[in-house]
Amino acid sequence: MIIWLLRLLGRVPLASLHRVGAALGWLVYRASPTYARRLRENLYASGVCADEAQCRALLRETVAETGKGAAELAAVWFGPDEPVTRMVVECDGWADVDAARARGKGIIFLTPHLGCFEMAGLYVGEHVPLTVLYRPPRQRWLEPFMVAGRSRVRSQLAPTTLKGVRMLYRALSRGEAVGILPDQAPGEGEGVWADFFGRPAYTMTLVRRLQQASGAAVIMTFAERLPRGRGYRMHAKALSTEHFDEAALNRAVEEQVRRCPAQYLWGYNRFKVPAGAEPPPAKAERTT
């Protein structure tokens, strides 16, 4: 019944879904003081806006864009069976992907919580064999819908377990591609502290370890949400793998976020201390 309803919603024009989503974004923002406070704090502390007036304007955009991101999942995951990636109407930088594929050593696609990150994963999976690192949602009832939506293209899902990590290594050894959310907070022992927008963020070491073991290319991607429901603009950019570490990873994410700051998921609890992890060192210690 729920799947049927989602498929019905998936046929609603994207512009209409975005209008509903913008209202939904404000509803959630007003209903959850904890979420609203975290979103404001993360956005204001990031330095992406020049002054208070610009921050207020960007906050309003961000609340609406976050709601659009939730509503558009009906179209992205459950829209008509024709290639869902037809909603990508522009693509910038795909030559970097073609060049990386020609090397034959595999590709690590990094897609942060920016724009329609579900569309970015589907677009990549439409073009190359892709193994995507996948963390099941806390709301278990959401999992079958998420799996169904992400399985619309030739992608396979790798759980955030030792078995899943081995799947990533094997895919790269075959010269295939893997997909990772680079700004997802890892568990204790799976990350190090590195600055992200000037604040310490527990950052996964997996990307660096995968790259060093495989020699794979690393490409940052995101699907920018275009106005008035026109679809998406896909962005792809190859990153230098020389001296590649967690600080470089976070700087690369920052660079993309600054292109579309209102479409970043500022409400995500990116700066939390994972259970069991040591807290970040003091600022003075980090700069010595």
Q: Is 81 within the bounds of a domain? A: yes
Question: Nearest Cα to 109, choosing from 260, 213, 237, 250?
Answer: 237
Domain count across the chain: 1
Do 12 and 229 meet the contact criterion of CB atoms below 8 Å apart? no
Total number of residues shown for the chain: 288
**Residue type at 169 in one-letter notation:** Y
Q: Is 281 within the bounds of a domain? A: no
Range in 75-84, 95-104, 130-139 with the lowest mean pLDDT: 75-84
The CA distance from 157 to 121, in Å, is: 11
Summarize pLDDT for 217-270 with one digit per residue, the tens: 999 999 999 999 999 999 999 999 999 999 999 999 999 999 999 999 999 999
Q: Is 279 within the bounds of a domain? A: no
Q: Is 282 within the bounds of a domain? A: no
Report the Cα 227 to chain-centroid distance in Å.
Answer: 20
Q: What is the mean pLDDT of residues 138-165?
A: 82
Segments forming the whole domain that contains residue 136: 2-271
Q: What is the mean pLDDT of residues 39-51?
A: 96
The answer on pLDDT for 52 being more than 90 is yes
The whole-number pLDDT of residue 1 equals: 58
The CA distance from 75 to 93, in Å, is: 25
The answer on pLDDT for 175 being more than 50 is yes
The whole-number pLDDT of residue 41 equals: 97
Q: Is 276 within the bounds of a domain? A: no
The CA distance from 91 to 123, in Å, is: 10
- Does this model's pTM top 0.85? My answer is yes
Q: What is the mean pLDDT of residues 163-173?
A: 96
The whole-number pLDDT of residue 148 equals: 75
Q: Is 283 within the bounds of a domain? A: no
Q: Is 99 within the bounds of a domain? A: yes
Q: What is the mean pLDDT of residues 158-180?
A: 95
Give the dihedral sign, CA 21/151/274/237.
Answer: negative
The whole-number pLDDT of residue 287 equals: 39
pLDDT band at residue 92 using 50, 70 and 90 as cut-offs: very high
The whole-number pLDDT of residue 134 equals: 87
Range in 6-15, 88-97, 141-150, 245-254 with the lowest mean pLDDT: 141-150
Mean pLDDT over each residue of the chain, to the nearest integer: 92
Question: Nearest Cα to 66, choosing from 24, 31, 121, 95?
Answer: 24
Q: Is 242 within the bounds of a domain? A: yes
The answer on pLDDT for 286 being more than 70 is no
Reading the block at residue 76, the tokens are 């992205």
The CA distance from 17 to 228, in Å, is: 10
Q: Which residues are bridge partners to 107 per DSSP? A: 177, 217
pLDDT band at residue 56 using 50, 70 and 90 as cut-offs: very high
pLDDT band at residue 74 using 50, 70 and 90 as cut-offs: very high
- Grouping H, G, I as helix, E, B as strand and the rest as coil, residue 123 is helix
